[in-house]
Chains A and B, each alone.
Chain A
Amino acid sequence: MTAPAMAAPAKATSLIEPDARTRRRNASERRFRLLGLSAVGVGLLALVILLTSVLGNGLSAFRQTWITIPVTLDAAVLDKQGNRNPDEMKKVTTLGYGKLVQQALLDALVEKGISTGDLTPKEVMALLSKEAPADLRDAVLADPSLVGQTIAFPAFATSRIDGYFKGRVTRESAERDANISPAQLDLADRMAEAGLIETRFNMGFLTRPDASELRPEAAGLGVAILGSAYMMIVVLVLSLPIGVAASIYLEELAPKNRWTDLIEINIANLAAVPSIVYGILALALFINILGLPQSAPLVGGLVLTLMTLPTIIIATRASLKAVPPSIRDAALGVGASKMQAIFHHVLPLAMPGILTGTILGLARALGESAPLLLIGMVAFVRDFPGAPPQGFLDPAAALPVQVYSWTQRADPAFVERASGAIIVLLAFLMAMNALAIILRRRFERRW
């Protein structure tokens, strides 16, 4: 038997010199690599632009300008009965505190030898936030023993003064502004020189409730963060067990027939339904039919649960599918029942995937605003929701909706605060993604 002749080499080719065909192939490979690289570059550029814009606008929201003045809390004014009973003291209105603060401010200027020029006391008082007397009242009511003492009271400067120290307001813009005049800015300059005005980190941005249109300097994210946290708790508690149970049933137990196929397709489609549709559904179902209160974190959580479920089911099924069938065989082979095989072996192995999917679903829910608008979470809420479980039914705001409503307001100071809120939202999202990565690393085992 003769060996079949090998395909004869066409002609002697050099290994050093690539032929035309190889050159073309290499060139197209290089082109594709370049294309991919530029695609990544465009993506990175978009990210950088986004971050610079948000950080540039928003970081200043975490700093605030204060006017610190010594205020004598006159017992004769604030506590006429003299028994330091907060219920009695509540009878003194914010207006009463306003006079106190105005007097204190004027006294402080005189003491420091700062001339007010030809500004009226009212115009001098306009340097302070309208929130200042209310803050002082809250502080006194919280600690009645302060009455009779003289305290150094840091009062918010009005947003224009704040903007002046942050560079947002200039003398030119002040001339055209009905709310502030160059003379007031001069006074602020003199006060800053005397150490009465300073700009520093403002924890209140994270802890204070929202404030009205006229007091942007006092507005904070407290209610929105708490509301978002309550909603995430609702989403986690509802969607994780429901999603995992549904996935296990569909993946491991359900017979493969036309009905389960139909369910499968519908779940995939639900994941792609625009979120506002869920808002309409929730408005009709939870609020109009079931009569649950508007603006409640419970209702928001229910909507977001509906929205997150398909994502969690898809992620969970994918990670269940990724568990090698040999593990199921092994468990069944030693006589485990189907449920034991799933709960002892399959589920622990799928856990990192499930948790990652859940957290990413939660992250998406956290950033969702459209359905929340429809169930009334865009309302102006100044009161913190109570402690759970009652808190789930109290009105609250949510982070993305807060961003939305702040961008709607006229005062330019709210632009800064909206960007600041976006930074907080992004920080939460990044923290959740980091958690997802950590959990995946931690639970991941090779098999």
Chain B
Amino acid sequence: MNDMRLTERVVTETAKMTARGVQVHYGTNHALKDVDVDILDKTVTAFIGPSGCGKSTFLRCLNRMNDTVASARVTGRIEMDGQDIYDPRVDPVQLRAKVGMVFQKPNPFPKSIYDNVAYGPKIHGLSRNKAELDEIVETSLKKAALWNEVKDRLTAPGTGLSGGQQQRLCIARAVATSPEVLLMDEPCSALDPIATAQVEELIDELRAQFSVVIVTHSMQQAARVSQRTAFFHLGHLVEYGETGHIFTNPSDPRTEAYITGRIG
């Protein structure tokens, strides 16, 4: 695989999602200021930055999860394949089927492993019968590299799995609705290093099928899994570029200070 490394690093240049002039207010708090980002297709994009810098806020703008926060106000334009996702005619429920999300804490439903994965396809009507649903569950669990571990106990509760398995189950659940973009909000912060490595490997594999956007506090993780990195600071997008470049030779002194461990 090592000899593939150079070709693997070639990233597509077509933008899957574009954000222009995005501002977010929580009540009187101006959380995100004028952010322009292109999320490239079939690419892992990492958002890094200190706590409260707005990276999670921006992530939650991409699938309109901020809609559920009453005080949040989003302005600016975010497009997916040229369509404004904040258009009043857009149903956020449909958007979220296309833009899946994985959260910081593994949060499987307190149901069986099978039901966890089958839930999304069921509510979106992606399968016509039980056999099709079974197939979706199996392929999703395989994509999440969990199939071999759970295929004999699909009816066991999802909450009985280990932390890393739970998080992969959540990824399988998100993958099951065949999204085009997968958002991950610090997906490994509750996991041990081995489970983290498994999830990171998974992210790298998922990149072949869709865009992945990952928010992480671990700069090493951002460096390992992403092809593009965006650095947020105090609500501003300070720098956005190729990951290797950001981590060896960032242009902005604030980025430099952050990734070398000089500001928290």
- Direct A–B touching, Cβ under 8 Å: yes
A: contact size bracket = 20 to 34
B107 within 8 A of A: yes
Q: How far is the CA of A80 from the CA of B70 in the complex (A)?
A: 85
The answer to whether B70 and A256 have CB atoms under 8 Å apart is yes
Please report the C-alpha to C-alpha distance between residue A286 and residue B173 in the assembled complex, in whole angstroms.
53
Q: Are B107 and A340 neighbours in the complex by a CB distance under 8 Å?
A: no
Contact A335 B103 (CB under 8 A): no
Given contacts A326-B105, A327-B109, A349-B110, contact A334 B173 (CB under 8 A): yes
Give chain B's interface residue range (CB within 8 Å of chain A): 20 to 34
- A320 CB to closest chain B CB, in angstroms? 15
Within 8 A of B (CB), among A288-339: 324, 326-338
Contact B96 A333 (CB under 8 A): yes
Say if the beta carbon of A255 comes within 8 Å of chain B: yes
B174 engages A333 (CB within 8 Å):
yes
Report which of A255, A330, A336, A344 forms a contact with B93, defined as CB distance below 8 A: A336
Is B97 engaged at the interface, CB distance under 8 Å to the other chain? yes
CA distance A337 to B108 in the complex (A): 17
* Distance (whole angstroms) from the CB of A435 to the closest CB of chain B: 23
User: Which B73-125 residues sit within 8 Å CB-CB of chain A?
Assistant: 93-97, 100-103, 105, 107-110, 119-120, 123-124
With the chains together, A332 CA to B67 CA distance in Å? 11
Inter-chain contact B103/A332, CB cutoff 8 Å: no
| Cβ-based interface call for B68 (8 A) | yes
**Counting CB contacts under 8 A, is A208 at the interface?**
no
Is the pair B177, A334 in contact by a Cβ cutoff of 8 Å?
Answer: yes
Tell me whether A345 is interfacial, beta carbon within 8 Å: yes
- Please provide the chain B residues from 174 to 192 with a CB less than 8 Å away from any CB of chain A in the complex: 174, 176-177
- Determine if B170 and A330 form an interchain contact, defined as CB atoms under 8 angstroms apart: yes
Point out the residues of chain A lying under 8 angstroms from B57, CB to CB. Answer: none
Q: Which of A256, A324, A334, A345 contacts B97 (CB 8 A)?
A: A334
- Residues 135-169 of chain B, each 1 if its beta carbon lies under 8 Å from chain A, else 0: 00000000000000000000001010000000000
Docked complex Cα distance between A296 and B108 (Å): 49
The answer, among B97, B100, B107, for a CB contact under 8 Å with A326, is: B107
Task: For the complex formed, measure the closest distance between the CB of A441 and the CB atoms of chain B, giving whole angstroms.
Answer: 15
Complex contacts, A21 vs chain B, CB 8 Å: none
Residues in chain B near residue A447, CB distance under 8 A: 110, 159
With both beta carbons as reference points, the residue of chain A lying nearest to B170 in the complex is identified as: A330
Q: Does B226 contact A (CB under 8 A)?
A: no
Q: Is there a chain B Cβ closer than 8 Å to A200's Cβ?
A: no
Docked-complex contact B94 and A335, CB < 8 angstroms? yes
B238 within 8 Å of A by Cβ? Answer: no
Cβ 8 A contact of B107, one of A256, A327, A335, A446: A327
- Among B93, B100, B105, B159, the one with the most A-chain Cβ atoms within 10 Å of its Cβ is B93
Minimal beta-carbon separation of B4 from chain A (angstroms)? 33
Q: Identify which of B70, B110, B120 contacts A334 (C-beta below 8 A).
A: B120
Inter-chain CA distance A9–B88, complex, in Å, is 68
Interface centre among A324, A329, A331, A345 (most CB of B within 10 A): A329
Selected from B108, B170, B177, the residue in CB contact (under 8 A) with A335 is: B177
Residue B43 CB within 8 A of the other chain: no
B243 within 8 Å of A by Cβ?
Answer: no
A256, A329, A334, A338: the one contacting B119 at CB < 8 Å is: A334
Task: Give chain A residues whose Cβ lies under 8 Å from the Cβ of B119.
Answer: 331, 334, 336, 344
The answer to the question of B65 belonging to the interface, with a C-beta cut-off of 8 Å to chain A, is yes
Q: Is B63 among interface residues, defined by CB-CB distance under 8 A?
A: yes
Q: Is the CB of B174 within 8 A of A334?
A: yes
Do A332 and B70 touch across chains, with their CB atoms under 8 A apart?
no
Query: Given that A329-B65, A344-B119 are known contacts, is A334 also in contact with B103, CB under 8 Å in the complex?
Result: no
Nearest-CB residue, chain A, relative to B115:
A344
Task: Report B-chain residues with C-beta under 8 Å of the C-beta of A332.
Answer: 65, 68, 96
B177 CB contacts on chain A under 8 angstroms: 334-335
With a cutoff of 8 Å between Cβ atoms, the chain B residues found around residue A336 in the complex are 93, 119, 123
Closest B residue to A256 by beta carbon equals B70
How close is B250's CB to chain A, nearest CB, in angstroms? 29
Interface-central residue, A328, A334, A445, by most chain B CB under 10 Å:
A334
Enumerate chain B residues within 8 angstroms of A446, measured Cβ to Cβ: 110, 159
> In the bound complex, how far is the Cα of B65 from the Cα of A445, in angstroms?
27
A330 contacts which chain B residues (CB < 8 A)? 103, 107-109, 170, 173
Collect the chain B residues with CB atoms within 8 Å of residue A445's CB.
110, 157, 159
Instruction: Report the bound CA distance from A45 to B216 in whole Å.
Output: 59
- In the complex, the answer to whether A335 meets B120 with C-beta atoms within 8 Å is yes
Per the bound structure, the CA–CA distance linking A326 and B105 in Å amounts to: 8
Cα(A334)–Cα(B169), bound, Å: 13
Closest to B109 in A: A345
Residues in A with CB closer than 8 Å to B109 are 327, 330-331, 345
Bound form: Cα–Cα A213–B96 in Å? 72
Instruction: Known pairs A324-B107, A332-B65, A335-B93; list 10 more (Cβ under 8 Å).
Output: A326-B107, A330-B108, A330-B170, A334-B100, A334-B120, A335-B94, A335-B95, A337-B93, A446-B110, A446-B159
Q: List 8 A-B contacts (CB under 8 A).
A: A329-B65, A329-B101, A329-B107, A331-B109, A332-B68, A335-B95, A335-B96, A446-B159
Chain A to chain B: the 5 pairs with minimum beta-carbon distance, closest first: A326-B107, A333-B101, A335-B97, A334-B120, A335-B96
B residues near A, CB below 8 A?
63, 65, 68, 70, 93-97, 100-103, 105, 107-110, 119-120, 123-124, 157, 159, 170, 173-174, 176-177
